[in-house]
Amino acid sequence: MDFLRPASWEEALAAKAEHPTAVPIAGGTDVMVEINFDHRRPEYLLDLNRVGELHEWEAGEDSVRLGASVPYAKIMEHLRAELPGLALASHTVASPQIRNRGGVGGNLGTASPAGDAHPALLAAGAEVEAESAARGARRIPIDDFYTGVKRNALAPDELIRAVHVKKADGPQQYSKVGTRNAMVIAVCAFGLALHPETRTVRTGIGSAAPTPVRARAAEEFLNAALQEGGFWDNGKVITPSVAKQFAQLCSAACNPIDDVRGTAGYRRHAVGVMARRTLTWTWESYRGARNASKGAA
Amino acid sequence: MSSPKLPPAFAQGGAPTGAPTRITQGSKTKGGIGESTLRPDGILKVTGEFAYSSDMWHEDMLWGQILRSTVAHAEILSIDTAEALATPGVYAVMTYDDLPAEVKHYGLEIQDTPVLAHGRVRHHGEPVAIVAADHPETARRAAAKIKVEYRELPVITDEASATAPDAILLHEGRTDHHVGHVPHPNIVHRQPIVRGDAEQAAARADFVVKGEYHFGMQDQAFLGPESGLAVPEEDGGVHLYIATQWLHSDLRQIAPVLGLPEDKVRMTLAGVGGAFGGREDLSMQIHACLLALRTGKPVKIVYNRFESFFGHVHRHPAKLYYEHGATKDGKLTHVKCRIVLDGGAYASASPAVVGNAASLGVGPYVVDDVDIEAVALYTNNPPCGAMRGFGAVQACFAYEAQMDRLADAVGMDRVEFRQLNAMSQGTVMPTGQPVDSPAPVAELLRRVKAMPMPPERQWESSEGADVRQLPGGLSNTTHGEGVVRGVGYAVGIKNVGFSEGFDDYSTARVRVEVVAGEPVATVHTAMAEVGQGGVTVHAQIARTELGVARVTIHPADTQVGSAGSTSASRQTYVTGGAVKNACELVREKVLDIGRRRFGSYHPAWASAELLLEGGKVVTDGGEVLADLVDVLEDEAVEVEREWRHRPTEPFDLRTGQGNGHVQYSFAAHRAVVEVDTELGLVKVIELACAQDVGKALNPLSVVGQIQGGTTQGLGIAVMEEIVVDPVTAKVRNPSFTDYLIPTILDTPVIPVDVLELADDHAPYGLRGIGEAPTLSSTPAVLAAIRNATGLELNRTPVRPEHLTGTA
C-alpha cells in the first residue's frame, strides 16, 4: 500500500487524478476500520491531513462553508448557532477522541446510510463542493449526492473539498437511536429542520434505507398542513393528528432491513416516534421564539 | 502437612458466628488486612504505562498468525500451504499433520479440542493452520494464501438438532467420564438434583407459575486481547510469557502437545488485561510454542479484537424452564426446572457449569421438594465455558423472574415474599448440603430496600432536559416523553472455589530476610493477577502476619507450585489462605530463632503469645522483646506450602446429593430504571447492592469488584449479546462496534452496602466476592424494566424491539 501525502489541495487533486483508486483519508474513522477488518486493501491511501484549508470553515451571509476535515468537536463548539442540526448530530458521533478527528467529508465520502451527519445535512439543505484537477470544482446538491449503498455522486478523480450548509433560519433537531447511551452506531436516525423563510420543512432519515433519504411525502404533507392552517403565522400548537400523520409518513419513507443492530419493524417504528418528537420540539421552539419576539415588539 | 501450632488468638473458628473475626496478630501493623491499600499497578494502568502481554518484544522475534475456519461445520477435504510457505518472510506454516507429539488435543477437563483442526471443523473460527513470519502483516497475508477446501455439513444449533435421532455426532467415540450417563452423545454432561417429592408437593400448592426463559451469549470482553511470547530455550524447552488465569493448568495442557516434559516448559505471567473466565481455556499458548520450537526463534502472537471474539469461550446461552409453587400464605412448595446450556463445539468448562446451574438452580431459598435437571449440549455454535458467575448467572435470571411472578400470584410484596422464603444458616440445599456459615439473604434484601431512592426526573434542569440523564443519552431521543420509572429486586447465591470433589489447593512461598537493614517479606505464588487485586491483598496478608512494612510480590511463574485458577471467586480465599498459612509458618520459625538467640534474656520468650508487629517481636501485652532485624541477622526464613480448603464431594449422578460446595456468596440488588416506553430505550438510574463479604481484606477493592460485577450484569440485561446466525452458526457481531458493552454513560450510580459476617471456615472469615454481584444485577434490571413497561420479557438481553413489539 502506498501512502500519498500531498502538501496542498492542488497536489491532492493531482494525486487523485493520477491514482483514481486512491482512498482519501483524513480522520480515518471509517477507512481505518475497513482496513483493520480487512474489508478493503486500497492500493493507495491519500492522506489529506497536510492540506490545512480542509480544517477551516467560513460563515457567510446565508451559508457556512465547512471544510471537509473540520472535526465534529469543532462543529459542536463553534457552529451550534449556524448549524444546530449538524451540531446535535456531531454530539452523537462515537467518542470524544473520534469527534476530535472525524469530519463531515469522511461521512460523505463513505456514504454509509449509518453516517451520523447525513440526516442533518439533508434536513438543513447542503451542497457538496467536489473538485477534480481536470474539470475544476462543482457543487452537488445533497439530494443528488447519495446514489446507492455506500455510493455517492463523486467521480473517481474527484475529492470533497467542503460542504456548504444553509445557516439555520429556524429550529432544527436531530435524534438517533442506538442500543447504548453513548458511542454507538445508529440503529436509525432522524433530522428535521424548519425553514420559516421559505415556510417549508425538510427531513433526513439515516440507517433506515439503502441510502440516507428525505421523507418527501411527509414534508409535502406537513408543508401543506402548516400552510392551510396558517400555522406559520398564528403559531398555534400543531394538532396531534397532523403530527401523527407526519410521523406515519416518515415511517413509510423508510425501506429498512433486519440486521444485527435492529429489526426493520423497529426502525420504521422508531423513525415515526423521532419524527413526532422532533416536530414537537422544533415547533415549540419556533412558537417560543415567535412569541418572544412579539412580546419584545 | 501438619498444621502450624498457633496461640489461641490466631486460631480460626474461635469467633462467635455472625461477628467479624477478631484479629490480634498484625492489628497494629500499617498496610495490613482491612485497609484500602492501593494497587501497585494502579497508576501504571491508568496512565497507560503498564506493560500488557501484547506489549512484549524480543529481539529477532517472529509473529504468529492463525488461520481460522470460515464455516461452522465442515469436512476438510484438503489444505494447501505451498503458496503461503513460498511467501518471503515466512518461516513456518503448520497444520495438524505437523504436530510433533502423540497428544494433539487439549481441554480443561475433557481433552476434546484439537490444537489444529483434523479433517473437520466444528465451529466458526476454529484454528486450522498457523504461520510464523518476520512481520505481522506478512504472517497475515501468508495465512490468507493457505487454501482450505471444505465440504459443508449440516449445523447443529440447539437441543432439537443436537438430540435428533439422526443427528451428526460432534464427537464420535467419546471416552470421557460423562459419556456413560448422558442421554445422547451430543450432550456433554447431565446433572439431575432430586430432593423430596416435587410432584407430591405440587399438589399442596395454591399457586403455580411456569415460565420459559432465554439467556443470550455473553462475551467476557476483556480489554487486553489474547497474546503471549514463546521463547525457545537452549535445553530444547520453551519459555512462555502469557496472559492467563491459571499458569499450571495451561502447563498441564501445553507440555504433552509439544512432546515435552513439564519442566521444559517454563511459564511466566505477562500483564493481563482482564479475564472474567475467558482465559481459563488455552487460546494461542500452544500455537506460539509450536512455532517457536519449529523455527528456533521467539514467536509472539497477538489477537486483534475480531479474532478475540473467536479465540476464547463465552458465557453459555441457556434455555430455562421453571415451575414454582407456593401456598396461599406465601411459602414455596416446590421447584421443578430444566436448564439447557449450549456448550458449543467443545466441552471446555461445560460439565462444571452444569453442576453449578443445577445445584444453585433454585436460588437462595428454602424449598424441600425440588426436581432439577441441567444439561450442556455439544453444538456447532461457538464453544462456551467459564464466565463470571458460571452457571449460577443463567439460573438466577430465571428463578428471580419466577419469584416475582409467584409473589404477584400470591398477592405479596416481592421483597417480603423473598424474605419469607429466604435461606439462612442451617438451611439444607437441594443437594442435601447444609449451609454452615452465615447466609443473610433476608437481611441483604432489607438493606438494599432500605437505601434511599434516587430522586425522580433528574434530567430536569433550568436549561431544559439534560439528555445525559435520559434513556438514549447523547443521542437526544427524548426530553422526557414516554419515560416511565421502574424498580426491581433480585438476590442470588454463588458457590466459592472449585466444587464437586476437585482438589482445589494453592501454593505459597514466603520468605523473610533483612535487606538494607530492614526486614522484608517476599511472597511468591503462581497466582494470575487479572485485575482482582491479589497482589495487593497478598502484601496486606504478609504485613499482617509478619509485622513487616516492606513486602515484595514476586512475579507469578511456574517456578513455584500451582496457585489454582483466578476464578470461582477463589483467589483471596485459597491463595490468600496459602499465603497466610505460609506466613504463619515463617512466623513460627522466626520466633523459634528468637527463642534460640534471646530466650534466656526475658521470660516472655517462653510464652506462646508472641506477635510480630512493626518489625519487632512483641508480647500480646505490647512489650517489645527484640527487633526482627536482630533476630534474623543474615538468616533468611523461607517456607513453601500447599494449602487446601475443606474437601468437597461429587454430586450423585442420579440424585445430585452431595456436599459439593465449599462456601456460598450472597448479594442482593435493587435496580431503578427509566424506560422510554415508545422507543424501547433503557437508562439504568441506580443499581444498589448489598453483599456479605465475610471480611473485607481491602474494602476499596471489594467495592470495586462489586461495582464491576454489577456493571457486567447490567451489560447482559440490556445490550451484551453475541449473535449467532441460526442457519449458518456463524457469529454475526464479532466487534466492539456491534457487541456493545456499557460505557460510563450507561453505568449507573452503584451504592454498595458491605456486610461482614465471618465464615468461620475461611481465612480471616472472608468470603469470595467477585461473582455474586454479577448474578442478581441482571434479574434486578429485568424486573425493573418489567415494572416500568408491564411486559413479560423472558429473554435477556432486552433489546428495543422487545419493548416496542417490533421484534
pLDDT range class, residue B608, cuts 50, 70, 90: low
Residue of A181, A269, A285 to mutate for B, most B C-beta atoms under 10 A:
A181
pLDDT of residue B611: 95
pLDDT tops 70 at residue B209: yes
pLDDT tops 70 at residue A105: yes
pLDDT tops 70 at residue B516: yes
Residues B460 and B563 both lie in one domain: no
Quick one: average pLDDT of B75-102? 98
Q: Is residue B594 within 8 Å of residue B625, measured between CB atoms?
A: yes
Closest CA to A165 of A189, A145, A147: A145
Grid cell for residue B464:
431544559
Chain-centroid distance of CA A233 in Å reads: 29
pLDDT range class, residue B609, cuts 50, 70, 90: confident
The order of strands in the sheet holding B795-796 is B187-195, B369-377, B332-342, B318-326, B207-215, B795-796
Residues B748 and B799 both lie in one domain: yes
pLDDT of residue B545: 97
Using the 3D structure, point to which of B592, B610, B644 is the last residue of a domain: B644
Which residues of chain A neighbour B723 with C-beta distances below 8 Å?
Answer: 260
pLDDT range class, residue B14, cuts 50, 70, 90: very low
Residues B40 and B58 both lie in one domain: no
pLDDT of residue A296: 55
Q: Do A177 and B478 touch (CB under 8 A)?
A: no
Residues B469 and B524 both lie in one domain: no
Mean pLDDT of chain A: 96
pLDDT range class, residue B161, cuts 50, 70, 90: very high
Range with the poorest average pLDDT among A118-127, B90-99, B459-468: B459-468
Residue of B305, B477, B685, B722 to mutate for A, most A C-beta atoms under 10 A:
B477
Q: Is residue B399 within 8 Å of residue B361, measured between CB atoms?
A: yes
Q: What percent of chain B has pLDDT over 90?
A: 95
Residues B509 and B583 both lie in one domain: yes
B584: in domain: yes
Number of domains in chain B: 3
B102: in domain: yes
Residues B622 and B677 both lie in one domain: no
Which residues of chain B neighbour A33 with C-beta distances below 8 Å?
Answer: 737
B401: in domain: no
Q: Do B473 and A88 touch (CB under 8 A)?
A: no
B301: CATH: 3.90.1170.50
Only one residue has cell 439422526, namely B166
pLDDT of residue B645: 97
pLDDT range class, residue A295, cuts 50, 70, 90: low
Residues B615, B419: Cα–Cα separation, whole Å: 49
Q: Do A277 and B807 touch (CB under 8 A)?
A: no
pLDDT of residue B11: 30
- Helix locations, B334-450, DSSP H: 350-359, 392-410, 414-421, 441-450
Q: Do B477 and A176 touch (CB under 8 A)?
A: yes
Closest CA to B379 of B317, B311, B309, B310: B317
CA distance readout (Å), B614 to B26, B147, B618, B673: 8, 67, 9, 49
Cβ-based neighbour number of residue B294 at 10 Å: 18
Interface residue ranges in chain B relative to chain A, Cβ cutoff 8 Å: 304, 306, 468, 471-479, 481-482, 678-681, 683, 718-719, 723, 732-733, 735, 737-738, 740, 742-746, 799-801, 804, 806-807
pLDDT single digits (tens) B630-684: 999 999 999 999 999 999 999 999 999 999 999 999 999 999 999 999 999 999 9
pLDDT single digits (tens) A250-274: 999 999 999 999 999 999 999 999 9
Q: To 10 degrees, what angle do helices B247-258 and B285-295 make?
A: 40
Residues B232, B290: Cα–Cα separation, whole Å: 10
Residues A242, A224: Cα–Cα separation, whole Å: 11
B524: CATH: 3.30.365.10
Could you tell me which residues are beta bridge partners of residue B720? Answer: none
SS3 B585: helix
Greater pLDDT, B519 or A40: B519
pLDDT of residue B343: 98
Q: Report the residue from A33, A184, A266 with minimal CB separation from B804.
A: A266
Residues B518 and B590 both lie in one domain: yes
Grid cell for residue A22:
486512491
Delineate the domains of chain A, giving CATH numbers in brackets.
172-296 (3.30.390.50)
Residues B451 and B552 both lie in one domain: no
Q: What percent of chain B has pLDDT over 70?
A: 97
Residues B44, A44: Cα–Cα separation, whole Å: 38
B80: in domain: yes
Q: Is residue A75 within 8 Å of residue A172, measured between CB atoms?
A: no
Closest CA to B374 of B189, B498, B199: B189
B372: in domain: no
SS3 B505: strand
pLDDT tops 60 at residue B573: yes
**Looking at this predicted complex, what is its ipTM?**
0.96
Residues B528 and B487 both lie in one domain: no
Residues B293, B638: Cα–Cα separation, whole Å: 36
Measured between CA atoms, how close is A37 to chain B, in angstroms?
Answer: 8
Q: Which stretch of DSSP H or E encloses residue B430?
A: none
Residues B495 and B515 both lie in one domain: no
Give, as one character, the DSSP assignment of residue B790: -
pLDDT single digits (tens) B296-330: 999 999 999 999 999 999 999 999 999 999 999 99
Mean pLDDT of chain B: 95
Residues A103, B294: Cα–Cα separation, whole Å: 48
Using the 3D structure, point to which of B618, B644, B670 is the last residue of a domain: B644
pLDDT tops 50 at residue B8: no
B588: in domain: yes
Q: Report the residue from B472, B481, B482 with minimal CB separation from A181.
A: B472
Report the residue of chain B nearest A275, measured CA to CA: B477
Measured between CA atoms, how close is A8 to chain B, in angstroms?
Answer: 31
Pairing of strands A151-152, B227-232: unpaired
Q: To 10 degrees, what angle do helices A216-228 and A240-252 make?
A: 160
Query: B755 Cβ partners below 8 Å, 6+ apart?
Result: B440, B443, B444, B447, B690, B691, B692, B693
Angle at the Cα of B43 from the Cα atoms of B40 and B48, rounded to 5 degrees:
125
Q: Do B743 and A281 touch (CB under 8 A)?
A: no
pLDDT range class, residue B7, cuts 50, 70, 90: very low
B782: in domain: yes
Cβ-based neighbour number of residue B100 at 10 Å: 14
Which residues of chain A neighbour B678 with C-beta distances below 8 Å?
Answer: 273
- Helix locations, A66-195, DSSP H: 72-78, 84-91, 96-99, 104-110, 117-124
Give, as one character, the DSSP assignment of residue A53: G
Chain-centroid distance of CA B337 in Å reads: 24
pLDDT tops 90 at residue A36: no
Q: Do B806 and A185 touch (CB under 8 A)?
A: no
pLDDT single digits (tens) B239-274: 999 999 999 999 999 999 999 999 999 999 999 999
Q: Report the residue from A37, A178, A262 with minimal CB separation from B475.
A: A178
pLDDT single digits (tens) B140-157: 999 999 999 999 999 999
Residues B632 and B595 both lie in one domain: yes
Q: Domain range spanning residue B30?
A: 14-50+505-644
Residues B749 and B635 both lie in one domain: no
Using the 3D structure, point to which of B578, B609, B644 is the last residue of a domain: B644
B292: in domain: yes
pLDDT of residue A291: 81
Pairing of strands B299-302, B227-232: antiparallel
pLDDT range class, residue A157, cuts 50, 70, 90: very high
Cis peptide before B298 (omega within 30 of 0): no
User: Between A and B, how many residue pairs show a Cβ–Cβ distance under 8 A?
Assistant: 101
